Amino acid sequence: MPNSDLLPSLLSKIYENQLALEAAIMELSNWMEMRGSADVADNVRGALETIDKNEEFIKLTLAVFASPT
């Protein structure tokens, strides 16, 4: 199997990891907010917005890599 065949799977796994980390960090920000650190929680959520903004582009790119040529 050529290395180029592994790229779609690799990118997909990296993307899955990114989404899992996003979910875990969001849980932590919710926990911080409940304990009175609303400013910190807001800052964390603001940083996570980058993941949300890039999600559609990542999905489209993965679809292109995964599609047969």
The percent of residues above 90 in pLDDT, for the chain, comes to: 51
Evaluate if residue 1 carries a pLDDT over 60: no
pTM of the predicted model as reported, rounded to 2 decimal places: 0.74
The contacts found for 59-64 with CB under 8 angstroms, 24 or more apart, are 59/15, 61/11, 62/8, 62/11, 62/12, 62/15
Q: List the domain range (segments joined by +) for residue 38.
A: 3-66
Counting residues of the chain whose pLDDT is more than 70, the rounded percentage is 91
**Total domains in the fold of the chain:** 1
Taking only the tens place, the pLDDT of each residue in 21-61 is 999 999 999 999 999 999 999 999 999 999 889 988 988 88
